[in-house]
Every structure is written in C-alpha cells, then in structure tokens.
Amino acid sequence: MASFTAAAKFLAPVAAARSGGDSRAPPPPFPSASLRPRRKPAPSRLRTVLAVSSDVLSGNKSAPAAAAHSAVTREEALELYEDMVLGRIFEDMCAQMYYRGKMFGFVHLYNGQEAVSTGFIKQLNQADCVVSTYRDHVHALSKGVPARSVMAELFGKATGCCRGQGGSMHMFSAPHNLLGGFAFIGEGIPVATGAAFAAKYRHEVLKESGPDGLDVTLAFFGDGTCNNGQFFECLNMAQLWKLPIVFVVENNLWAIGMSHLRATSDPEIYKKGPAFGMPGVHVDGMDVLKVREVAKEAIERARRGEGPTLVECETYRFRGHSLADPDELRKPDEKSHYAARDPITALKKYIIEQNLATESELKSIEKKIDDVVEEAVEFADASPLPPRSQLLENVFSDPKGFGIGPDGKYRCEDPLFTQGTAQV
C-alpha cells in the first residue's frame, strides 16, 4: 500500500487507526510470497503532479513538475504508444464517419483520455474484466477487441463485435472479458463489482482461480458518476467484501456541460476511497507512465486479494461530450491548457528524450495504425448489414426463448432437464 507513494497524492484508509477490538486484519489470501511484487516501492520522488481539479481550484497555472518515471522498457513504451495512437486515430476516424453518416445515434469520443485506457488496461490479463461506459470504443481497443470489429459495430454491421445489436455505447466481447459499455451513469459500477465478486467466488467457493491470484475487474466511469448513489453503494460493498476491483475515475472535469466543481461538494474524488476504508489515489491522467504505475499497484493489490482501490485520473476530453455536443461551455483557455498536455505528445517526447526509440520509428507506428484504421473502415463498409432474420435472435440465451428446445418441445420435457443435468 505504501508503494502508492508513486502517485501524486495518496490517502490510506484510516481503519488501522481506529480503536482496538476491530480485528479486521485479514490473513493474506495468497500465501505464496512470490506473488508479492518484487519491485521495491518507488521512492516518493514524484512530488506534485499538476492536478486538474486542484489546479482549477487554486488557479495555479504553473507548469507540471518535471516528469520522472520509473523505468519503462523500449517494448513497453512502444506498446503504450501504439495503443494510445490507435485510440486517437480510431476516434478521429469515427468523427469523420459520423459526419459522413456511416454511424448514427450518440457517439462519444475518447480523445485526450487515452493515457487512462492504455495505462490501465494494458496491465491486465485476458481473464481480467473491463466494464466501461458509453465512451467505450477505446477501452474495447485497449482490451484487444480488433479495430475492425469495433468499427463494424459502429457501422451497424453484422460483422461488428455485437453483430450490430449493441452499438457505440454497448461494446461487449466475451472472449476479451469486455463486459459492456453501460449507457446510464453509475450503471456499470455494480456490474463491475459483480464481476469482481464472481472472481472471488470462483476462488473461494468453486476453488477455480489460477496460480496468479484473482482475476481483476476495472470499472471505468467519470467524475459525474461520482455523485451517483451506485458509486457509493459499490465502494462500500467492494471494500466490505474485499473484492478484486479497481474503480477508475476518468475525471475529465465536465459532466456534459456541468462543471465538476459546480456539481460536487468535495471535488477531490480520490478522498472518497478512504472514507470507505480503501486507498484513494490521485494520478495525472495525462501521463500514461504515471497512470501505468498506479494501475500496476492497484491491480496487483486486487489480484492478491487485498481489495479495491479508488483511482482518480485527472484528464480532459479534447472533444465535446458527444459528437452532438456543441461544446460551448468550456473556455478556450482551459481547452488549450490541456491540449498542450496531450498525453500522446508527452509520451512521444519522453520516448525520444530517453532514447527508447527514434522519431521515425514512432512515425512508422503511426503509419501502421493509420493502415489498421483504414482497413477497419473498409472492412466495416464492405460488411453486410444484419439480415432480417437476426432481428428476433438473442433475446434469450435459450435459442428460441420461452424455454422451448430445438425440437419445438418445452426444454423441461427433455428428460435430462428434470434430472438437473441438461444445460438449460
């Protein structure tokens, strides 16, 4: 827990300071010491990171402290770079396609927030889960859903990751354990908490967990959600039951047109973690390396069975709330302030300064991603629309719904059903 000193701000829960009689010290759920991180906690050399809300609160416009990151290898740096560039170019293409009428409805783009998706999701395993919001395209990409599947879904095509039945705000991919984009504020948090509950249940009741510890779930949501009751309900239960989950707040300062500061009595969201007995961490969400470091620690902590963490990532969206948002309330100087802190530009600068790769190598990554996104559009465009017959499919998992089997009989009439052995 002490290793969270890497974060700009860290609040430890105060439970330990309470009076005796509180025998909550849990035994380590994974006795193998090898599961503990070998890496020593990063020294607290990352002093003040320019925090968006505190920045806005204080009117402090000073430049961010010189970035100092724990070592990142060339391969890791390039992986992060590629993923962020993919997120950016993909979303820019979405805007084009939206204006060309290729996609429709509400389309919420992720530009500016890439460091959060990349910094967190790239630390996950395949079996770990991601639960997202309506701004979910890039989370899906980071989790490994192919760009062409996401694009085809946005085009409403049969080859989309949900065959065109989900759409922009509802990306699911079972093989990637992407458990959906949820369109309502706060709605995804309990579902994510449930996925974490299932991981713990599989470990403790079904004895199914792998040797690496618990599968971890990341719940992504925004600053606006942190005023919603489900957020508090789930912080409570996640900590109460020590669930392997990380609550990732993407605080982009604006809930559509409602400023975070106008909506929230105490705008420092990370402080709400300790109120529930879990660590609350604040991190510069425009710096992928810092996000990554916090993410690693929070995820490892969850995997070891030590419970949830609340991480507030201070970030900014470079576009309106959705492509239908005229974005008239955010001030130009605020926008330019954050535009100057573009997380992709920052990583690029770092990579070159640290001699991890050359500019032309980064260029070739950008070129490669350009091609990937172009190909995704071509694939989506050329893909067939869902056939008429698809309309009534998938309402129930039971193929025909209504408890009726493929032979047209009620499934319960199958003798295996009443023996409790039929998969119904």
CB of 191 to other proteins, least distance (A): 4
Helix (H, G, I), strand (E, B) or coil at 311: strand
Of all residues in the chain, what percent are helix, strand and coil, respectively (each to 5)? 45, 10, 45
Helix (H), strand (E) at residue 237: helix 229-240
Q: Which is nearer to other proteins, 5 or 228 (CB)?
A: 228
Of 206, 331, 336, 388, the one binding other proteins (CB under 8 A) is 206
Pattern 94-133, other proteins, x by CB under 8 A: -----------------------------------x-x--
- CA-derived radius of gyration, the chain: 22
Is there a contact between 218 and 192 (Cβ–Cβ < 8 Å)?
yes
CB of 320 to other proteins, least distance (A): 25
d(CA 220, CA 121): 10
DSSP strand pairing (245-251 vs 280-284): unpaired
d(CA 208, CA 294): 28
CB of 152 to other proteins, least distance (A): 12
What torsion, rounded to 10 degrees, do the Cα atoms 126, 132, 135, 140 define? 10
Pattern 305-344, other proteins, x by CB under 8 A: ----------------------------------------
Is there a contact between 376 and 151 (Cβ–Cβ < 8 Å)?
yes
402 near other proteins, rule: CB under 8 A: yes
Q: Which is nearer to other proteins, 25 or 206 (CB)?
A: 206
Which two three-digit tokens encode residue 28?
Answer: 């380590």
Q: Which is nearer to other proteins, 173 or 251 (CB)?
A: 173
Interface segment toward other proteins; rule CB under 8 A; list 142-150, 201-209, 291-299, 318-326: 201-209
d(CA 216, CA 143): 13
How many Cα neighbours within 13 Å face the side chain of 113?
33
170 near other proteins, rule: CB under 8 A: yes
401 near other proteins, rule: CB under 8 A: yes
Of 78, 84, 121, 179, the one binding other proteins (CB under 8 A) is 179
180 near other proteins, rule: CB under 8 A: yes
Which residues from 136-165 bind other proteins, rule CB under 8 A?
Answer: 162-165
Amino acid at 40: K
Binding footprint of other proteins on the chain (CB under 8 A): 129, 131, 162-167, 170, 172-174, 179-180, 182-184, 186-187, 189-199, 201-202, 204-206, 229-230, 233-234, 236-237, 240, 393-398, 401-404, 410-413, 417-420, 423-424
